[in-house]
A and B are shown apart, each in its own frame.
Chain A
Amino acid sequence: MNKNLNIFTMINKKKQGGRELPESKKRRREKFITISALTILVILTVFSIYFSQFSRKLFIGNSVIFFALININIILLILVIFLVLRNLTKLFFERRRKILGSKLRTKLVFAFIALSLLPTSLLFFASVIFINNSIENWFNVQVENSLEESLKVAQVYYKNSQDNALYYARQLSQEARDKKLLNEQNLSILREFIKKKQKEYNLGAVEVFSSQLEELVKVINPNVSVKSLPSPKSNFVKRGLGGEEFSQIQPAGGGDLIIGIVPVYSTWKPQDVVGVIAVNYLIPSSLTGKMRDISATFEEYRQTKILTYSIKFNYFLVLALVTLLIIFAATWFGFFLAKGITIPIQQLASGTERVALGELDFRIEPVVDDELGTLVKSFNKMTQDLKSSRVGLKQANIELTNTNIELDRRRKYMEIVLRNVAAGVISIDKDGHITTINKSAEKILEVKPEKILNENFLDVLSSPYLEMVKKLVEDLEVSPAGSVSKEIELSLKRERLTLLANLSILKDEEENYMGMVAVFDDLTQLQKAQRVAAWREVAKRIAHEIKNPLTPIQLSAQRLRKKYLNRFTGDGKIFDECTGTIISQVDELKNLVNEFSSFARMPAINPMPNDLNRIIEEAVNLFKGAHKNVEIKFKKGSDLPIFELDKDQMKRVVINLLDNAVASIKNEGEKGVLIIESFYDHQLELVRFEIVDNGYGISPEVKARLFEPYFSTKKTGTGLGLAIIKTIISDHHGYIRVKDNKPRGTRFIIELPLII
């Protein structure tokens, strides 16, 4: 899509900015074509004028229109060919470049070409055959013979008329010679004679000329124009006086006048011409017109026959021009129509693409007012509606996003609260499935959330706890406050926990039951602290109440021993033993009281910059070599920093722990290994040291009370050692833990922060 958009953008850019070069080329090309076409037009016109300049001047208007039409036709044809070729080439390249709409345009154009080519070609060939046959029929033998015979009839008629004119002229000439009518005294007789003969022979006019070129007699038929008759000085008369007999045709009053000239010879000297008789025989215009028509038709026929091939060629050429014009015009029209269809479709396609890419401001300019125009308008409306919907949707989405952000913020806040709250929280839906468990709950109960989430709590709990929870739920059901609280004890793998569990019913705003939430606080440490505090108070009171009488008791016993031991001779042994026992037991009691006292009155720590490794080493040195069956290893952390701690108290911690560990190993009776390791945790900025032994280890029950005062598994132990250690570590803001060592033994882990 992006690629397409890029292409589209490129096309647009090309159309806008990068279009100048091809556009100017196109313009130049079109200019070249136009100039070429005009040049051809001029050449053709010059040629036409050149070949027609000396020709007939008649019908010049028709002629100009005729060759103008032909030349314009040729120019049009060239232009149309140019347009079609240009568009075809353009279409070819568009198709190669797979431009949208080119395929549809190709189909439309070729459909138009095919639709125009087929009927036009058929019509062309049919017309060619028809014209060929028609022209051939013009020149069939019968027509030619008929025209020729008609012309011969006309020719014979003229020839006969000429012969008749000569014959009548000879007759008149013979009689005039025999009767000597040309003599001056016989002129009146001649006139009457000529009049009579003119009527008798129905001649147009008869004239008699003397050898002196005088007109002696002139008898005219009223239908003959006088002007057209031969004058006495005309060439005809002169030729007649020269002894020539001839006939001549000349136009007269719309018809033709056949003139027969015959000389009149002398009776005395037969070779002398004394006059000329001209007989004019009129052929009426009605007859000459018809004969002229016959002649003209025949001439035209023969001329046409000569030019048969040229005429055919003329028709075929015009027909071919028109056919080509139709084909190319149809092709061009196909382009035009295809353009009209494909451009809106192309715009619609590209518009759809751009709208699909999010350009909702895109609008298509409607160019046509048909169904495509309606489609374009609908598209524009659709785009506008889409934009409005999108704006609304965007607004709604923003609001929804804000709500979600707020909800998410609240959810996170709640999660953070739940995660950081010391109390464990577990929620259960109305079907009994565990839906939430916070970090504290995970830690307290030592469970993995993925194993219990979405599980039914009845399936997750083991039988002793299941009964306990069922009892709680039963209490909850009857509780009017909707919640119950109960202190419960859980035995986990490592320790035994005391929890204050609170179970509440969850209800929504409509008081619909939604499930339960269990909140429990780990009271174990609190109880331990309370116990320690109580024991300290007890120890303080005991030390105070017991220590005071012990010294007088011991002093009294010592005084009794000193004063009266020597006085007993026989039973002095018993006295000695009893006083000795009192003194020693008082010492033990003093020690016990001192321990109590030191536990109750632990001095405040005095932190100074010290090297923990050195403190540990000093403590370890005290134990090395003292126990043959115990191998002690100290793995020093190389990067341990110097930090503030109370050297004496920390040394006491190490010694106590080592003492416990050695005792644990010695009780096993086997050779044991005691490893002390120190580390520095850069990330947490704390120092950790571990004391690991492979002794008999500690049971979970013991672990739970290990750091309680006066809890000891040793027969002679005061049970204050680990309690004091814990107090010292706590005073250093540290933390002490105990773990089982694998495969055997115990691992004490002490973590001390660098900054107290």
Chain B
Amino acid sequence: MKNKSLLVFIVFSVFTILSVSSPNLLRSKEPNIMNITINRTGKNVSVQFTLGNCFTQEMEEAILSGIPTTFLFSINLNENRNFWFDKKIITGHIKHTVKYDSLQEEFHLTYNGKGKNPTVVKDFNIAKKMMAEVKEDIVVPENILTDGQDLYFKIRAKLDSAALPFYLDYLLFFVSSWDFETDWYTKNLN
């Protein structure tokens, strides 16, 4: 009887924790990845897509209050294999970070990719657009491209945990309610 009550308590606690930590339950519209475009020029492959419905009102308020916000995009190039697990060929992570400078009233955008310089914009809408739009050039090994294999891209976006004051982001219970993670989106290379 005692064990049962203890078990119920534990299950209830875990359920509560998971419920609180599950931000998607509180969203009206799910973020999604759209307008995926893949252009191939020789071994260079350009991947473009846009993250939609990614900004909520709470998130915009948080950005304007100076909280650095980062979108983490995962782009994987996989090889489709019949009767077996697909093979992961390339794995890449792209980070778009926006930080509002309230003193100079400008948005500082930084990227982790090569050849991408930090950008400063005054307009919030432009900053949001630049955060949501991804254009990544990927160099694919020639042997893979020439073999005529069935290749496809898997793309996913999620909000990197925001750096909250008082280290609240390290508390399980204070994961921001605007947190999101999209499903995996796929697009064939050929």
Binding site for B on A (CB under 8 A): 29, 32-33, 36, 40, 43-44, 47-48, 51-56, 59, 62-63, 66-67, 70, 78, 81-82, 85-86, 89, 151, 154-155, 158, 249, 291-292, 294-296, 298-300, 302-307, 310-311, 313-314, 317
Interchain CB contact (< 8 A) of B66 among A51, A55, A300: A300
Q: CB-CB < 8 A to A62: which residues of B?
A: 167
Contact across chains for B172 and A51 when beta carbons are under 8 A apart: yes
Contact across chains for A303 and B175 when beta carbons are under 8 A apart: no
Looking at B37-45, B46-54, B131-139, B156-164, the stretch in contact with chain A turns out to be: B156-164
Looking at B2-10, B26-34, B84-92, B140-148, the stretch in contact with chain A turns out to be: B2-10
Q: CB-CB < 8 A to A33: which residues of B?
A: 3, 6
Within 8 A of A (CB), among B45-103: 58, 61-62, 64-67, 70, 72, 100-103
CB-CB nearest in chain B for A86: B2
Contact across chains for B170 and A67 when beta carbons are under 8 A apart: yes
Given A52-B170, A66-B170, A314-B173, answer yes or no on A32-B3 (Cβ-Cβ < 8 Å). Answer: yes
Q: CB-CB < 8 A to A298: which residues of B?
A: 66, 102
Contact across chains for A291 and B161 when beta carbons are under 8 A apart: no
CB-CB nearest in chain B for A60: B170
Contact across chains for B172 and A311 when beta carbons are under 8 A apart: no
Where chain B touches its partner, the secondary structure class is helix
Contact across chains for B168 and A310 when beta carbons are under 8 A apart: yes
Contact across chains for A89 and B17 when beta carbons are under 8 A apart: no
**A304 to B64 Cα, complex, angstroms:** 12
**A311 to B176 Cα, complex, angstroms:** 12
Q: CB-CB < 8 A to B175: which residues of A?
A: 51
B123 within 8 Å of A (CB atoms): no
Interchain CB contact (< 8 A) of B21 among A47, A85, A158: A47
CB-CB nearest in chain A for B72: A54
Residue from A33, A51, A53 whose CB has the most chain B CB atoms within 10 Å: A51
Contact across chains for B17 and A47 when beta carbons are under 8 A apart: yes
**A305 to B66 Cα, complex, angstroms:** 12
Q: Give B58 Cβ to nearest chain A Cβ, in Å.
A: 7
Given A54-B70, A155-B103, A300-B66, answer yes or no on A307-B168 (Cβ-Cβ < 8 Å). Answer: yes
Q: CB-CB < 8 A to B169: which residues of A?
A: 51-52, 55
Q: 12 A-B Cβ contacts within 8 A?
A: A43-B14, A44-B17, A47-B172, A54-B160, A67-B171, A151-B102, A296-B66, A299-B67, A306-B58, A310-B173, A314-B173, A314-B174
Residue from B1, B10, B162 whose CB has the most chain A CB atoms within 10 Å: B10
Q: Give A281 Cβ to nearest chain B Cβ, in Å.
A: 14
Contact across chains for A59 and B167 when beta carbons are under 8 A apart: yes
**A36 to B6 Cα, complex, angstroms:** 10
Q: What 8 new A-B contacts, CB under 8 Å, besides A298-B102, A299-B65?
A: A55-B169, A59-B167, A70-B172, A81-B9, A85-B2, A249-B104, A295-B102, A306-B61
Contact across chains for B65 and A314 when beta carbons are under 8 A apart: no
Contact across chains for A54 and B161 when beta carbons are under 8 A apart: yes
B115 within 8 Å of A (CB atoms): no
**A86 to B1 Cα, complex, angstroms:** 10
Contact across chains for A303 and B171 when beta carbons are under 8 A apart: no
CB-CB nearest in chain B for A300: B165
Interchain CB contact (< 8 A) of A78 among B10, B64, B67, B168: B10
Residue from B103, B163, B168 whose CB has the most chain A CB atoms within 10 Å: B103
Contact across chains for A154 and B174 when beta carbons are under 8 A apart: no
Contact across chains for A151 and B10 when beta carbons are under 8 A apart: no
B183 within 8 Å of A (CB atoms): no
**A598 to B66 Cα, complex, angstroms:** 163
Top 10 nearest A-B pairs by Cβ distance?
Answer: A299-B66, A302-B65, A295-B103, A54-B160, A55-B161, A56-B163, A303-B65, A89-B2, A63-B170, A310-B174
Given A54-B72, A89-B2, answer yes or no on A295-B163 (Cβ-Cβ < 8 Å). Answer: no
**A317 to B165 Cα, complex, angstroms:** 17
Q: Give A295 Cβ to nearest chain B Cβ, in Å.
A: 4
Interface string of B169-189 (1 = CB under 8 A from A): 111111100000000000000
Contact across chains for B14 and A48 when beta carbons are under 8 A apart: no
Contact across chains for A311 and B166 when beta carbons are under 8 A apart: yes
Q: Give A67 Cβ to nearest chain B Cβ, in Å.
A: 5
**A296 to B165 Cα, complex, angstroms:** 12
Interchain CB contact (< 8 A) of B172 among A48, A59, A295, A299: A48
Q: Give B171 Cβ to nearest chain A Cβ, in Å.
A: 6
B150 within 8 Å of A (CB atoms): no
Q: CB-CB < 8 A to B66: which residues of A?
A: 295-296, 298-300, 302-303
Q: CB-CB < 8 A to A55: which residues of B?
A: 160-163, 169-170
Contact across chains for A311 and B167 when beta carbons are under 8 A apart: no
Contact across chains for A292 and B166 when beta carbons are under 8 A apart: no
Q: CB-CB < 8 A to B160: which residues of A?
A: 54-55
Q: CB-CB < 8 A to A47: which residues of B?
A: 17, 21, 172
Q: Give B49 Cβ to nearest chain A Cβ, in Å.
A: 20
**A303 to B99 Cα, complex, angstroms:** 13
Contact across chains for B10 and A36 when beta carbons are under 8 A apart: yes
CB-CB nearest in chain B for A298: B102
**A299 to B68 Cα, complex, angstroms:** 11
Q: CB-CB < 8 A to B61: which residues of A?
A: 302, 306
Q: CB-CB < 8 A to B174: which residues of A?
A: 307, 310, 313-314
**A162 to B38 Cα, complex, angstroms:** 43
